[in-house]
Amino acid sequence: MFYARAAVIVAKRGGSVVRKARQTSAGGIASRCNALARLLGYGGRTTYVDARSLADRTSNHIIRQAISGIGVRGVFALDDGFHPSSLKPIVYLAGADDAASLRAIRRDVWSQGAVPFLLVVTPDKVEICNGFQPPGASTISVDFSDDASALPDSLASFAADRISASITWSDFTIHRDSSVDNNLVNAIELLNEHARSEFPEFRDNRDLINALIGKFIYIYVLVDRGILSMEWLSSRLPARARKAGQAFLQAVFSRDAQTADDWSALSAVAVFDVVDDAINGSVFALTAEQRARIPDGLCHLIHRVVRRGEVLYKDGAQLGFFDVSFSVLRTETISAIYERFVSTRTRRARRMTASSTRRRISPITCSTGSKRRTRSRCDRD
């Protein structure tokens, strides 16, 4: 649903989205990555895709994003035997010159949430990373020489022959507790709780605040992925809302964490309406009554936490959005997150309805001679 709607916006803009792959400073890292791919047995495999073979080998958008957007040097996948687009990425192979580059690529891979394993080649080592863990999680460092004739033992499980065999999966323990969708669910829930505490008039409006958070995240994803530009959005703001809307756009597109909150909730809503009009629908719909109730401060809070990375704490743990890269966050992830919220809301409503029904129609058993019959309490009322 989200990709289709984003495609509508791109079509209406009359352009395409082009991203620049991550670059490393020296050919040395590239040659080391090639050496590792050769030792792993990836080269020549139909399920190994790199920048050279990308155009001809797959239309899989996850693999394309990994190579063209994130800047990984190669993707080893499993083929389920159908169309090439059904390739399932298993290992990303990437390079990093320094600690900052390593963290950046881990952040993007974790935010994409698509692959269990990430091997990052550095000037003297290979870092084995869990693709479902945030960039601050620990890694396994393995010494690696690009003129080696054999794989280090710690990397042997990632060899093409072994990782393609299901029996070798017993070698791996994959924990998804720290995956980007779980992290975002927890962060959104904490932000929701914090917002309802700061604005007690919304104490009973969990769903409204979730929808509002969703609208902000959706805008940030479309902006950071290059689907929306300030010029395009500004040109579609109605005249009455153009000045106010542009103030909000300045905050959205600014990379300065100190940007003043000199925009209003109405200006944010005006920009949301532009996107909704472009897709002929509404993402995370809000009624007119709900929109009229939203105060500026609530929108500023959401923006500070989600866009600027202001950190919230719960039970001593730090939860926030700072490690999430919106430029590669898949819209399916957003959809899955909010489906979980809808599911939770539905289950909660069903429990409340069932509880109410049980209270109103709790069965009682009556004896009439030798016959027994069951009737509800409402039969007696």
Taken in order 155, 159, 165, 166, the sign of the CA dihedral is positive
Strand partners, 75: 49, 92
Residues in the chain: 381
> Is residue 166 located within the same domain as residue 260?
no
**Domain membership flag for residue 88:** yes
**Domain membership flag for residue 24:** yes
The stretches in the chain having pLDDT less than 50 are: 1-3, 7, 10-11, 16-21, 24-26, 84, 167, 347-381
> Is residue 160 located within the same domain as residue 222?
no
How far is it, in rounded angstroms, from Cα 71 to Cα 108? 9
> Is residue 102 located within the same domain as residue 51?
yes
As given in the structure block, the two tokens for residue 250 are 């300045």
> Is residue 123 located within the same domain as residue 45?
yes
Show which of 137, 171, 205 is a domain's final residue. 171
8 A C-beta contact, residue 144 and residue 121:
yes
How far is it, in rounded angstroms, from Cα 43 to Cα 171? 23
- pLDDT of the residue at 88: 85
> Is residue 78 located within the same domain as residue 159?
yes
Show which of 171, 203, 234 is a domain's final residue. 171
**Domain membership flag for residue 358:** no
> Is residue 156 located within the same domain as residue 218?
no
> Is residue 167 located within the same domain as residue 184?
no
- pLDDT of the residue at 80: 60
**Domain membership flag for residue 370:** no
> Is residue 19 located within the same domain as residue 152?
yes
**Domain membership flag for residue 327:** yes
Please list, in sequence order, all residues whose beta carbon lies within 8 angstroms of the beta carbon of residue 62, skipping any fewer than 6 positions away.
89, 112, 114, 330
Residue 241 has phi, psi (to 5 degrees) of -115, 5
Q: Could you report how far apart the first and last alpha carbons of the chain are, in Å?
A: 49
How far is it, in rounded angstroms, from Cα 332 to Cα 87? 17
As given in the structure block, the two tokens for residue 111 are 């935010």
How far is CA 122 from each of CA 52, 86, 146, 299, rounded to the nearest angstrom? 22, 31, 11, 41
**Domain membership flag for residue 376:** no
> Is residue 206 located within the same domain as residue 332?
yes
Q: pTM here?
A: 0.71
> Is residue 163 located within the same domain as residue 208?
no
> Is residue 221 located within the same domain as residue 240?
yes
8 A C-beta contact, residue 284 and residue 215:
yes
How many domains, the chain? 2
- pLDDT of the residue at 159: 93
- pLDDT of the residue at 340: 67
Query: Exposure of 89 by Cβ count < 10 A (0-12 exposed, 13-18 middle, 19+ buried)?
Result: buried
Domain region containing 37: 15-171
> Is residue 207 located within the same domain as residue 338?
yes
Show which of 171, 197, 212 is a domain's final residue. 171
* CA 100 distance to own-chain centroid: 21
**Domain membership flag for residue 2:** no
**Domain membership flag for residue 59:** yes
